[in-house]
A = this chain, B = another copy of it.
Amino acid sequence: MNIHLPDSIRDGEHLYAVRVYYEDTDAGGVVYHANYLRFAERARTEALRDLGVAHAEMAVQHGLMFMVRRIKVDYLGPARLDESLVVATRVAAIRGAVVELRQDVRNETRLLVGLDIQLACVRVTDQRPARVPVRWTEALMALSCREMAPSGAQ
Interface residue ranges, A against B (CB under 8 Å): 19, 21-23, 25-30, 32-35, 37-38, 41-42, 45-46, 54, 56, 65, 67-75, 78, 80-82, 127
Contacts and interface: CB of A to CB of B under 8 A. Distances in A.
A32 B23 contact: yes
Given A22-B28, A27-B27, 9 more contacts: A22-B41, A22-B45, A23-B32, A27-B30, A28-B65, A54-B82, A67-B75, A69-B75, A71-B72
Identical chains in the assembly: 4
A71 B34 CA distance: 10
A18 to B, nearest CB: 11
A81 to B, nearest CB: 5
Contact of A70 (B27, B70, B75): B75
B74 A27 contact: no
A54 B84 CA distance: 14
A133 B22 CA distance: 22
A72 B70 contact: yes
Contacts of A23: 26, 32, 34, 38, 41-42
A98 to B, nearest CB: 13
A34 B41 contact: yes
Contacts of A29: 27, 29
